[in-house]
């Protein structure tokens, strides 16, 4: 059998208020991946108001969940945030309110969650105050984006920034690096999906100036896989230029309407998470929990 070069787990959306035990973290810990990716909504801030003191308490509560804490203690992990780690629903650091609160919210994220990786993975975090970073896992380049700190509302400006100029330039540099001979697989990780949420305004594709360039640059990289969260379901999307794997709802419920009109049980607890087994010739994706599905990317 072909060797596994890297085993990477991923998960998002953990609501302490809904799920006090969060058993999926135990499954993740037992699976013992080389790396865990936390893809946002690691906590749920107050849904109506910006309040960093309250947010601080919510991190403490989430970190008091034994299964979560044990997984973070035992595993190497990289983490990003999404709207609920920052403020109210769909909050953005580049909004008027966001500009006032984002520095402290990011400091809380980095101090409570942060990241832990092996030194040999050559972590690229040029600025320790930033959430975005990258690491090399034996030929897999893992790029973690911060899709919230610099994000501006599109309603006010069709040319709004998603990542901000500095992070965008950094990302293009990382994608150029992925073209080097040492890489066989490129993961770009973000809280937001590429375009799973056309009605909710959170999809990256809405930032069309960025997205048009991203499609070309990421599509040229070796085996491009986008890894995301946010939507409270597990999904695999084929975008042409890349495959997107989504796992959301590690400790949450379905709270959003299904665009296909399919009915779902809003009250059912999800224990969703995903894992990638990276081989030289292919990547096996296992999405586990309520929405279990398996797929092979070549
Ligand atoms: Fe969520």
45 CA → ligand 1 middle, Å: 11
251 CA → ligand 1 middle, Å: 9
DSSP characters for 167-203? HHHHHHHHHHHTTSTT-SEEEEE-SS-SSS-TTTT--
Whichever domain contains 291, its CATH number is 3.60.21.70
pLDDT tens digits, one per residue of 116-170: 999 999 999 878 899 999 999 999 999 999 999 999 999 878 899 999 999 999 9
Cβ-Cβ contacts under 8 Å for 76 (sequence gap 6 or more)? 34, 35, 36, 116, 117, 118, 121
Residue 167 included in any domain: yes
82 CA → ligand 1 middle, Å: 8
End-to-end CA distance of the chain, in Å?
Answer: 16
pLDDT tens digits, one per residue of 21-65: 999 999 999 999 999 999 999 999 999 999 999 999 999 999 999
pLDDT given at position 127: 84
Q: Rounded to the nearest 5°, which phi and psi values hold at 35?
A: -145, 140
- Other C-beta atoms lying within 10 Å of the C-beta of residue 90: 16
Q: Is 240 exposed, middle or buried (0-12, 13-18, 19+ CB in 10 A)?
A: exposed
179 CA → ligand 1 middle, Å: 33
Pair 68, 15: CB distance under 8 Å: no
294 CA → ligand 1 middle, Å: 22
41 CA → ligand 1 middle, Å: 5
Residue 69 included in any domain: yes
182 CA → ligand 1 middle, Å: 35
pLDDT given at position 151: 97
255 CA → ligand 1 middle, Å: 9
Dihedral of CA atoms 87, 20, 10, 121 in degrees, nearest 10, equals 90
279 CA → ligand 1 middle, Å: 30
191 CA → ligand 1 middle, Å: 9
Which of 168, 150, 14, 19 is closest to 95 using CA atoms?
150
pTM of the model: 0.96
127 CA → ligand 1 middle, Å: 27
Cβ-Cβ contacts under 8 Å for 111 (sequence gap 6 or more)? none
66 CA → ligand 1 middle, Å: 20
62 CA → ligand 1 middle, Å: 14
pLDDT given at position 257: 58
pLDDT given at position 222: 98
Top pLDDT among 91 and 156 is at: 91
Residue 220 included in any domain: yes
Residue found by looking up tokens 């400790």 in the block: 251
236 CA → ligand 1 middle, Å: 17
Which of 192, 163, 160 is closest to 175 using CA atoms?
163
pLDDT band at 196 (very low <50, low <70, confident <90, very high): confident
Residue 185 included in any domain: yes
112 CA → ligand 1 middle, Å: 18
Q: Over pLDDT 70: what percentage of the chain?
A: 94
Helix (H) or strand (E) holding 35: strand 35-39
Residue 12 included in any domain: yes
Residue 280 included in any domain: yes
Q: Over pLDDT 90: what percentage of the chain?
A: 85
Residues with CB under 5 A from ligand 1 (ion): 13, 41
Is the pLDDT at 259 greater than 60? The verdict is: no
Residue 1 included in any domain: no
233 CA → ligand 1 middle, Å: 10
Is the pLDDT at 265 greater than 90? The verdict is: no
Q: What is the DSSP letter of 64?
A: T
The mean pLDDT value of the chain amounts to 93
Number of structural domains found in the chain: 1
Q: Which two tokens stand for residue 213?
A: 């360039």
pLDDT band at 262 (very low <50, low <70, confident <90, very high): low
Residue 168 included in any domain: yes
Query: What domain range is 110 assigned to?
Result: 6-297
Which of 267, 262, 256 is closest to 231 using CA atoms?
256
CA 80 to chain CA centroid, Å, is 6
Pair 145, 170: CB distance under 8 Å: no
Q: What does each C-alpha distance from 200 to 163, 218, 252 come to in angstroms?
A: 19, 24, 18
119 CA → ligand 1 middle, Å: 31
Q: Is 97 exposed, middle or buried (0-12, 13-18, 19+ CB in 10 A)?
A: middle
What is the C-alpha separation between 123 and 136, in angstroms, rounded? 7
């Amino acid at each position: 059998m072909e060797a596994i070069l890297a085993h990477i787990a991923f998960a998002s959306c953990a609501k302490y208020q809904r799920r006090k035990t969060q058993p999926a973290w135990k499954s993740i810990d037992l699976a013992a991946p080389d790396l865990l990716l936390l893809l946002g909504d690691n906590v749920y801030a107050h849904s109506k108001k910006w309040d960093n003191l309250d947010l601080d308490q919510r991190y403490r509560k989430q970190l008091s969940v034994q299964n979560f804490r044990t997984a973070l203690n035992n595993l190497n992990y990289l983490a990003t945030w999404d709207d609920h780690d920052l403020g109210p629903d769909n909050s953005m650091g580049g909004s008027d309110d966001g500009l006032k609160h984002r520095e402290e919210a990011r400091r809380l994220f980095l101090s409570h969650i942060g990241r832990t990786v092996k030194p040999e993975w050559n972590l690229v975090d040029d600025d320790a105050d930033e959430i975005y970073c990258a690491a090399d896992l034996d030929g897999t380049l893992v790029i973690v984006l911060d899709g919230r700190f610099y994000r501006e509302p599109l309603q006010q400006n069709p040319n709004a920034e998603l990542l901000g100029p500095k992070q965008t330039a950094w990302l293009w540099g990382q994608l150029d690096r992925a073209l080097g001979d040492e890489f066989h697989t490129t993961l770009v990780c973000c809280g937001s999906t590429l375009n799973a949420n056309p009605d909710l305004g959170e999809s990256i594709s809405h930032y069309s100036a960025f997205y048009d360039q991203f499609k070309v640059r990421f599509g040229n990289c070796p085996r491009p896989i986008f890894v995301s969260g946010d939507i409270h379901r597990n999904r695999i999307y084929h975008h042409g230029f890349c495959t997107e794997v989504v796992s959301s709802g590690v400790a949450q419920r379905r709270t959003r309407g299904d665009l296909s009109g399919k009915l779902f049980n809003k009250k059912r607890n999800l224990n969703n998470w995903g894992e990638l087994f990276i081989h030289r010739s292919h990547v096996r994706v296992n999405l586990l929990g309520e929405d279990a599905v398996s797929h092979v990317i070549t």
